[in-house]
Amino acid sequence: MLVTTTIDIDTDIRQGDSDGFLELKEKCLYLIRLNFKFCTMVVNNNDQLAEELQRQELEAPNGIAAPQVYQQLLAIYLYQNDLCNAKYLWKRIPPSVKTSTPELGHIWAVGHSMWKRDFPAIYTALNAVTWSDIVADIMKQVQEVVRTRAVDLISQAYSSITLDTVSAMTGLPLEVCIPACEERGWKYDAESKIVHPVRKVVEYMGQTSSEDQLSKLTDFVSFLEN
C-alpha cells in the first residue's frame, strides 16, 4: 500500500511568505521518496521482477513493450543463467527497439559470451560500458554470479592452475586475485605462480532439477575444454 496523507496547502501558505511553501515542498518530496523506496522494495527480488516484466511484455500494445522492459528482463535472464530465454527474448525484440536502445546490444554481448562460456569475454563485455540506472544493479549481480560460478568450476576441475588463468576466469586483477585465493584456503606458490585450489564440498540436493544438473555438467565440460 502506498503512503498517503492530506496536506493543507492553503493553511501552509497562509502562515507566512515562503516558509509555508518550502515546508509543503519538503513534505511532498518526503512522500515521493518514501513511496519510491516502497516501490523499489517491492520489486527488488529478481524473480518477482521477471514475472512482472514478462506480464508487461505480453500485455504491451501492438506486442511491443517499452525498451526498459526488454533491458531489465534480458539482464535478469542472464543473472538467472537462463540463456535459452535470453536468446529467445533477444530474437523477438523488434529491430527498431534494438536500434533506439543500444544498451540492449551491450547486454546481449554479455549473454553471447555466456553462451560460449568464455569467461574472459564475459568480463570484457560487462566492463566495456557504463550501465544505465535501469540495469546497473542487475548487471553487477550478473558479474558476481558469473565469478562465483567460475570459482566453483576451478575448485572442481583443477588441483593446480596458473594464477594468470585464475585471474582470467574470475575477472580479478592479479594483485586482487592472490589474496582472494588465499582467503578461500587455496595455496599460492609465488615462485611458480601456481594456485592449488581446494575442492568445494557440494551438498547433494535431492530435488535438483535435471535441467540444472545438465547446465552444471555442461559448464564443467566446457570449462575443461577451454
Contact between residue 151 and residue 168 where contact means Cβ atoms under 8 Å apart: no
Q: How many CA atoms lie within 13 A of 193 on its CB side?
A: 9
* Sign of the dihedral through C-alpha 105, 106, 109, 114: negative
148-225, which class in CATH?
mainly alpha
All cell numbers assigned to 31:
512522500
Paired strand residues for 162 = 194
pLDDT given for residue 11 in this prediction: 45
Distance CA(78)–CA(222), nearest Å, equals: 18
Q: How far is CA 68 from CA 59, 81, 117, 215, in A?
A: 15, 20, 26, 28
Of 73, 152, 86, the residue nearest 114 (C-alpha): 86
Q: How far is CA 179 from CA 1, 173, 196, 202, in A?
A: 46, 11, 13, 23
Q: For the segment 51-93, what is each residue's pLDDT rounded down to a tens digit?
A: 999 999 999 988 899 999 999 999 999 999 999 999 999 999 9
Of 72, 71, 67, the residue nearest 43 (C-alpha): 72
Taking 70 as the pLDDT cut, the residues of the chain under it are 1-44, 201-226
Per-domain residue ranges of the chain:
9-42, 46-139, 148-225
pLDDT given for residue 209 in this prediction: 52
Paired strand residues for 188 = 195
- Strand 161-162 versus strand 187-189 pairing type: unpaired
**Most distant pair of Cα atoms in the chain: their distance:** 79
Q: What is the pTM of this model?
A: 0.71
Class of residue 103 by CB neighbours under 10 A (exposed 0-12, middle 13-18, buried 19+): buried
